[in-house]
């Protein structure tokens, strides 16, 4: 799900656009499952995904960059300036919060 990168950390996600609400559903098959409300048209879903994950991981929107999967449900996002260890801790906190 997470890979170290010279500029930060890469997060692998599987996106379900057009959902009832924006939410992180957990981890499955080595990727983070994320639902977003925006329909997948003209990059709007990708923008919503980046903004939602920036909020969830408490980083600036400008720190989240789509590396691959622009037109696919499987995506890789780079979190600029966020070390792997820090990202691992943030994911753990999100999972704890969602399971409570």
* Sign of the torsion formed by the C-alpha atoms of 26, 29, 30 and 33: negative
State yes or no: pLDDT of 16 exceeds 70. Answer: yes
What is the per-residue pLDDT for 100? 59
In the chain, % helix, strand, coil (3-state, to 5) comes to 30, 35, 30
* Residue 24 CB coordination number (10 Å): 19
Global pTM reads 0.93
Q: Please give the pLDDT value at position 97.
A: 80
Per-residue pLDDT reduced to its tens digit, 56-100 = 999 999 999 999 999 999 999 999 999 999 999 999 998 888 765
User: Do strands 64-68 and 74-80 pair parallel, antiparallel, or not at all (unpaired)?
Assistant: antiparallel
Domain spans of the chain, in order of start: 2-99
User: What is residue 76's predicted lDDT score, i.e. its pLDDT?
Assistant: 98
Kindly state the average pLDDT of the residues 13-20.
Answer: 96
Structure token pair of residue 86: 């820090």
* CATH number for the domain running over 2-99: 3.30.1200.10
Tokens encoding 11: 């997060």
Bridge partners (DSSP) listed for residue 74: 14
* Rounded distance between C-alpha atoms, residue 20 and residue 30, angstroms: 24
């Amino acid at each position: 799900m997470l890979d170290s990168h010279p500029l930060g950390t890469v997060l692998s996600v599987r996106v379900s656009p057009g959902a009832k609400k924006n939410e992180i559903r957990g981890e499955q098959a080595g990727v983070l499952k994320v639902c977003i409300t925006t329909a997948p048209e003209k990059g709007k879903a990708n923008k919503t995904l980046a903004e939602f994950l920036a909020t969830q991981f408490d980083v600036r929107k400008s720190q989240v960059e789509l590396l691959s999967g622009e037109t696919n449900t499987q995506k890789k996002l780079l979190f600029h300036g966020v070390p792997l260890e820090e990202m691992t801790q943030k994911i753990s906190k999100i999972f704890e919060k969602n399971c409570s």
